[in-house]
Amino acid sequence: MSAISDTSWLLLSSPIILMAILIVFSSMGVWIEKEAVKRRRIQQEREERLSMLKKMSAQQTGEFKQ
């Protein structure tokens, strides 16, 4: 009797466990994507600031022609 109840518990709980694993992995994927977007935005801001500094430096030295 105990073996039957153990087997039925396993059969009933396995879809629940699989759903929980799926939810955890999908939420991790969302978090990873948000971090990637944030890093891309920070990198783009750095590149924009660097190009602006280069233009300002070039203007000060007179090498930049408008």
For the residues 33-57, what does the mean pLDDT come to?
Answer: 95
Listed by start position, the domains of the chain span: 40-65
CB 55 within 8 A of CB 64: yes
64: pLDDT confidence band, cut at 50, 70 and 90? low
d(C-alpha 10, C-alpha 16), whole Å: 10
Say what percent of the chain tops pLDDT 70: 86
Given a cut of 60, is residue 49 above it in pLDDT? yes
Q: CA dihedral in degrees (25, 30, 31, 34; nearest 10)?
A: 160
Three-class SS of residue 66?
coil
Given a cut of 50, is residue 38 above it in pLDDT? yes
For the residues 21-47, what does the mean pLDDT come to?
Answer: 95
Pick the more confident residue, 60 or 22: 22
Task: Give me the pLDDT at residue 1, please.
Answer: 47
